[in-house]
Structure 1
């Protein structure tokens, strides 16, 4: 806790010139006055943190705060910054008593207690809070294991090899080497097809229609020799640039996961996905209809010009 009291010296000087009884009274009142000044300074002048002093290790008995759902934008020490789904920004502190749980596993079942160090920027979270000292402390932080995998992928530049694909990648080493040898120095591709899937405002969850579109695109792309997929996420102009950048990356990461895990698209045939936030709008952002077209992820089917044989595939 930061403690400052610019008036302490003045009070002491006044006490020196007072009568003995007055000096005694002033000396007796000084600790209380100083504590009040320190408390007022801490509660009114520092806008950088929400919770002051030692964060309690026992949260029982504290008043329940709001439930926050959104994307973890940043973390500094025990402080989290969350871009909430309503486009607001929330600041929450962690305590030794904060429970961090991840759910998922086989068929989405199971829940595991985790460490607060597992909280990564880009991770969608649900946070239960309590009120303390004018701020919020997280009593519980929940996220899905699949979302954690995506956050790790984004943080690592989406180049990290998923453990679940290790065996599959090993089996395709020869195919990977052959493909890389043919396109190692080629940075130009023919776009054979682009499929777009769309999202609700501030959301990154795939709709059933989007899931069907992704698997149909992957199935048709499989018919093209040497085809690669490039996934790019976009947003409309609602919200801050920081929020939209994270949201576009989250959307792209979710599409990559679904293409690989549900649609069976081989990881080695996936180019590095990216989030473009508000850039390259497909429609006017001044109308609701235009914004709806911009809240999208584009799945581009590419073939390197070095290996493109012009093979035709009919896309629906």
Structure 2
């Protein structure tokens, strides 16, 4: 009977148990994993990848990370490339180790064919993105300031000539809009000035639609702004005005320019 071996078996079992307890910690900190997915963002040394489970993974790269562009069906043929090859829309395979809340990449590889497609998409996407950002941003093509006598809403001959010139330019402009704001000087009370500024704006709107020949849908309702910001104190002829602008949506114009 080999009783001396019993204590040895106990020691071995204890050592194995200790090793098993330590394994999860080792796997969490140092085990290399593979992440396959689509690059959605590149910011400095951080790339964001949406994996096959549609989960977003944050991955950092460093000086030791290698980058490979593979060719052929097997991917056996490859060439080394730089970090600058990474771009949104590129499918990648990342070998990485856990690091904090994300991962640290040891190798990033991608197919040559996928790289070409991502390049083509990026080349066509930049103008489209800029155009989308421009929607709702207006560019003024022409401006007219119609001046009024004190307390009046009557448009002078000079004012009508300026409005006719702006209307002519508008008719030659695709997808134009006309926006306008009415103002007063600082004499009188605030409520009266507000009403007067609105009436002046309405007078100009009516003239553009009824006499200058602009479509009602192209002329936005005028805003009464009360006292002009540059009115100063007292009677100021330059503050008694309606400011009219011929504008176009930059996003729409960018699309038509193609």
Q: Which TM-score tier does this pair reach, normalised by the shorter chain?
A: 0.3 to 0.5
TM-score by length of 1: 0.37
TM-score by length of 2: 0.45
Q: Computing the radius of gyration over CA atoms, which structure comes out larger, 1 or 2? A: 2
Between structures 1 and 2, the one with greater strand share: 2
